[in-house]
């Protein structure tokens, strides 16, 4: 069971600024992983769209 809390951007920023260095580093690593994943997905999508297409010949 989880609890959801709505936090405004300013409050979130304030919380992030109070994180110890090791937790801040972990957070930054996770953010970078997310960026790489999105970039990798778009590269894969681009490759698939420009690649060969299998069609039935009559």
Model confidence over 25-35: pLDDT tens digits? 999 988 888 77
What does the alpha-carbon distance between residue 39 and residue 34 come to, in Å, rounded to a whole number? 9
**Domain total of the chain:** 1
| 26 in any annotated domain | yes
Residues 45 and 43: their CA atoms lie apart, in Å, by 5
Whether residue 57 has pLDDT greater than 70: yes
Nearest to 28 by CA among 45, 16, 41: 16
Instruction: Confirm whether 8 is domain-assigned.
Output: no
Selection from 32, 2, 34, 28 nearest residue 16 by Cα:
28
Q: Does a structural domain hold residue 54?
A: no
- What mean pLDDT comes out for the span 8-21? 94
What is the average pLDDT score of the chain?
85
Query: 3: which 2 tokens?
Result: 């609890």
Question: What is the pLDDT at residue 17?
Answer: 94
Asked whether residue 48 carries a pLDDT value surpassing 90, the answer given is no
Tokens representing 36 are 């790489």
Residue 35 lies in a domain: yes
Which residue has tokens 């690649």? 51
8 has pLDDT over 90: yes
């Amino acid at each position: 069971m989880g609890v959801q809390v709505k936090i405004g951007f300013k409050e979130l920023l304030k919380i992030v600024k109070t994180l110890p260095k090791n937790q801040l580093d972990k957070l930054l690593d996770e953010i970078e992983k997310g960026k790489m994943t999105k970039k990798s997905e778009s590269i894969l999508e681009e490759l698939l769209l420009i690649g060969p297409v299998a069609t039935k010949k009559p």
